[in-house]
Amino acid sequence: MRRIQKKFNDLKKRGDKALVAYLTAGDPSLEMTKELIMDLDEAGVDILEIGVPFSDPTADGPTIQAASQRSLQRGTTLSAILHMLETARKFTEIPIVLFGYYNPIFIYGTEQFAKQAKKSGVDGILVVDLPPEESRELRQYTDRAEIDFISLIAPTTSSERIGKISRNATGFLYYVSITGVTGTQKPVVSDIKKEMKRIREQTTMPVVVGFGISTPQQAAEIAPYADGVVIGSAFVRLIEEHGDKNNFVNIICSYAKDIKISLRNR
Amino acid sequence: MNARLPDKNGHFGIFGGRYAAETLMPALIELEHAYAEAKKDKAFTKEFNRYLQEYSGRETPLYFAERLTKKLGGAKIYLKREDLNHTGSHKINNTLGQALLARRMGKKRVIAETGAGQHGVATATVAALFGMECEIFMGAEDIKRQAPNVFRMKILGAQVTSVTSGTDTLKDAMNEAMRHWVSRVRDTFYVIGTTAGPHPYPAMVRNFQSVIGKETKRQILKKEGRLPDVLIACIGGGSNAMGLFYPFKDNHDITMIGVEAGGKGIATGMHAASISAGNIGVLHGNKTYLLQDEHGQIKDAYSIAAGLDYPGVGPEHGYFQSTGRARYVTVDDAEATEAFLCLSEYEGIIPAMESAHAVAYTMKLAPTLCKDKIIVINLSGRGDKDAGIIAEKLEVH
């Protein structure tokens, strides 16, 4: 069974919800990203999204934009990220989803990318600017490599389209809880409750909620309606603030633990 | 290759498409449907044409540049005078069309990105005309370089938002406009200024701009009794070039030449020649030629002409390049500057630095052709805005 599916099955059995953490690869360094993957696994994070930095991240707010810039300035490449993940995979079984924009993958070569991602233990990909209509050119290779194709659903997505997207997706669905870019607004719980009902009518796939969740309280409020929450900008902000300190891994892991505790039994 | 393009998903061959975040997909589909309906509605077309005529002052003249022709001693040169449009460039053709569409869709707010400020001014103008709220995204660096256009936009009632992400220029303004659109997609219409972006923008902007080529066809037949041999236009995103080329695309005897900005020279890496010196990738919702590094990170474009300063190009130009229907060449800053001065001195017409690129290539080509050949240049904009840059340059030399 694929790691992502197994993870959601296990969580369901325990009555638990997934904590999905996002890190921009290469911020503050690829070496630290690798360490954080293993430490966050131990801290209780269920799924890791590893952001592939892009020069023009049009779906991201200022926090992740800045992290992408920092990472690119250090010379981070998709190839180096895949190499790092190959090493990390030897030490952890945590499901890993690559999150990013299409161009770096397209330039790497779609077929080559799918092969190397598989070899590196990547379990899923979420390509922000690759809607179902354009996804075939990549999926013909990632499907064969048994890499899940995670798709976004937005508040603006019609019910009919939710059906279409969920039939096209594998692994899980990612509900974008705000009409906006990452980390810029606070999601409204009553809206999420309503929207999740609309999504559940169309699909039985696991659905996680993200974009704008940053506190344990928010996570706890949203968890009853979702199969998990994604925390992105908040982790990236902590890394931005504390990345140069000796105890920064502890700061990040203790934040992850707080969120995870808030999710249990929700 | 006469099949109607783009296909239903916005592809021109391997180019174009709709590579957009899910938040925008419903809005793009809504826009596609609204535009398809408007296109079929005779009343919409009639109103668009009325505004082009009575508000922008179309049709624009097709002018025989006699002194320039004599000086170059070859082919006859005609100028399609898009610089005589209201607001001083071809940009208004498209913003009028999109604003009418926005009004039809019940959107009360328009946003746009701008580099040199021409598209920003053209958008602010139509927003004032139709009583819409308007916000223009402009790189902080460009706001400094193009102060007069910033004042014009503000006078017209637009809010000008300074973009400080990335390199503070046109591509970053476009990034920010897209982010903003994601956040306000329900009440906001995004007026893209060129034949790029996710479907249906490239086809829609092309269609609004093709009034340029349609008029040219009519005018040259009247003046010369035949079609021209060569069409020349500058290419940033490519809207003025596509506007001229498209109505001629099935006249296979006509050579179509797009002139990209060679900046300080292709070898220096400081240019904006996406087709001539870039490769295929995906940015801002479409697959097209881009300036990028070997890892797929987008590089900064550079040109003396701020309106050409974009690291991509409209997907249909990529398609025309791949089929050989159009040819793409480059002209550097120095050549464009020389052409800017030449047209000013010989014809009393100060061209936009962007359009000066098309003039510069004509100055190379015309002397090599017989006197019975006809070249049409799209003079896409007027150059008042560039007087300062040229004055500075002349003092240096």
Complex-level ipTM = 0.95
* Whether B18 and A133 lie within 8 Å, measured CB to CB: yes
* Whether B26 and A107 lie within 8 Å, measured CB to CB: no
Catalytic residue among A16, A49, A221, A227: A49
What pLDDT score does B3 carry? 61
What pLDDT score does B141 carry? 85
Mutant choice from B19, B290, B291 vs A, greatest count of A C-beta within 10 A: B19
Q: What are phi and psi of B232, to 5 degrees?
A: -130, 130
Q: Is residue B167 scored above 80 in pLDDT?
A: no
What pLDDT score does A265 carry? 62
Q: What are phi and psi of B126, to 5 degrees?
A: -70, -30
- List the single residue in B with minimal CA-CA distance to A76: B295
Q: Is residue B156 scored above 60 in pLDDT?
A: yes
Q: Is residue B327 scored above 70 in pLDDT?
A: yes
- List the single residue in A with minimal CA-CA distance to B181: A180
What pLDDT score does B284 carry? 97
What pLDDT score does A5 carry? 97
What is the per-residue pLDDT across B36-82, written as a single tens digit (0 to 9) for each? 999 999 999 999 999 999 999 999 999 999 999 999 999 999 999 99
Please, are residues A180 and A155 in contact by the beta-carbon 8 Å criterion? no
Catalytic residue among B176, B354, B380, B385: B380
Q: How far apart are CA A256 and CA A22, in angstroms?
A: 11
Strand positions, DSSP E, B159-276: 159-163, 188-190, 230-235, 255-263
Query: Which residues touch B344 (CB under 8 Å, ≥6 apart)?
Result: B350, B351, B383
Catalytic residue among B59, B113, B176, B260: B113
Note if A86 is an active site residue. Answer: no
pTM (2 d.p.): 0.96
- Of B107, B93, B106, which is closest to residue B51 (Cα–Cα)? B93
Shortest alpha-carbon distance between residue B112 and chain A (Å): 15
* Whether A129 and B282 lie within 8 Å, measured CB to CB: yes
* Whether A103 and B26 lie within 8 Å, measured CB to CB: no
Shortest alpha-carbon distance between residue B196 and chain A (Å): 15
Q: Residues of A numbered 129-168 whose beta carbons fall under 8 angstroms of chain B's beta carbons: which are they?
A: 129-131, 133-134, 151-158, 161, 165
* Whether B183 and A107 lie within 8 Å, measured CB to CB: no
Residue range B274-283: average pLDDT? Answer: 98
* Whether A107 and B281 lie within 8 Å, measured CB to CB: yes
Q: How far is CA B183 from the centre of its chain?
A: 27
Please, are residues A206 and A2 in contact by the beta-carbon 8 Å criterion? no
Percent of chain B with pLDDT over 90: 89
Catalytic residue among B91, B107, B249, B385: B91
- Of B278, B296, B300, B297, which is closest to residue B288 (Cα–Cα)? B278
Q: Which residue has the tokens 């779906």?
A: A59
Query: Which residues touch A247 (CB under 8 Å, ≥6 apart)?
Result: none
* Mean pLDDT rounded to a whole number for chain B: 95
Lowest-confidence range among B64-73, B165-174, B368-377?
A: B165-174
Q: How far apart are CA A85 and CA A2, in angstroms?
A: 17
- Which pLDDT band, with edges at 50, 70 and 90, does B330 fall under? very high
Q: How far apart are CA A251 and CA B285, in angstroms?
A: 38
Q: Cβ contacts (< 8 Å) between A72 and chain B: which residues?
A: 297
* Whether A56 and B284 lie within 8 Å, measured CB to CB: yes
Q: How far apart are CA A21 and CA B196, in angstroms?
A: 35
Q: If DSSP states are collapsed to H, E and C, what string results for B344-358?
A: HHHHCCCECHHHHHH
Note if A60 is an active site residue. Answer: yes
State the DSSP H helix or E strand holding residue B53, giving kind and residue range, or none if neither. helix B42-54
Say yes or no: A110 contacts chain B, CB-CB below 8 A.
no
Strand positions, DSSP E, chain B: 11-12, 15-19, 62-64, 76-81, 109-114, 133-139, 159-163, 188-190, 230-235, 255-263, 279-283, 285-290, 326-332, 374-379
- Of A244, A266, A238, A240, which is closest to residue A43 (Cα–Cα)? A238
**HSE on the CB side for B360, CA within 13 Å?**
26
* Whether A72 and B297 lie within 8 Å, measured CB to CB: yes
Residue range B191-196: average pLDDT? Answer: 97
- Which pLDDT band, with edges at 50, 70 and 90, does B1 fall under? very low
Mutant choice from B29, B179, B186, B288 vs A, greatest count of A C-beta within 10 A: B179
Specify the amino acid at residue B127.
Answer: A
Q: Which residues pair with B259 in a beta bridge?
A: B234, B329
What pLDDT score does A266 carry? 63
* Whether B296 and A179 lie within 8 Å, measured CB to CB: no
Q: Which residues pair with B377 in a beta bridge?
A: B79, B232
Say yes or no: A78 contacts chain B, CB-CB below 8 A.
yes
Q: How far is CA B272 from the centre of its chain?
A: 14
- List the single residue in B with minimal CA-CA distance to A128: B21
Residue range B14-35: average pLDDT? Answer: 95
- Which pLDDT band, with edges at 50, 70 and 90, does B396 fall under? low
Residues (pLDDT < 50) of chain A are: none
Give chain B's end-to-end CA distance (angstroms, integer).
49
Q: Is residue B122 scored above 70 in pLDDT?
A: yes
Q: Is residue B397 scored above 60 in pLDDT?
A: no
- List the single residue in B with minimal CA-CA distance to A78: B295
Q: Cβ contacts (< 8 Å) between B296 and chain A: which residues?
A: 54, 78, 103-108
What pLDDT score does A235 carry? 94
- Of B103, B122, B106, B105, which is closest to residue B114 (Cα–Cα)? B122
- Of A48, A62, A99, A47, which is closest to residue A78 (Cα–Cα)? A99
What pLDDT score does B2 carry? 46
What pLDDT score does B334 carry? 97
* Domains of chain A with CATH codes: 3-263 (3.20.20.70)
Q: Is residue B302 scored above 50 in pLDDT?
A: yes
Number of Cβ atoms within 10 Å of the Cβ of A72:
19
What is the per-residue pLDDT across A194-229, written as a single tens digit (0 to 9) for each? 999 999 999 999 999 999 899 999 999 999 999 999
Percent of chain B with pLDDT over 70: 99
Shortest alpha-carbon distance between residue A167 and chain B (Å): 15
Size of the A and B interface in Cβ pairs below 8 Å: 118
What length is written for chain B? Answer: 397
Shortest alpha-carbon distance between residue B25 and chain A (Å): 8
Q: What are phi and psi of B10, to 5 degrees?
A: 85, 20
Please, are residues A2 and A248 in contact by the beta-carbon 8 Å criterion? no
What is the per-residue pLDDT across B229-258, written as a single tens digit (0 to 9) for each? 999 999 999 999 999 999 999 999 999 999
| Residue of B18, B21, B292 lying closest to A128 (CB–CB) | B21
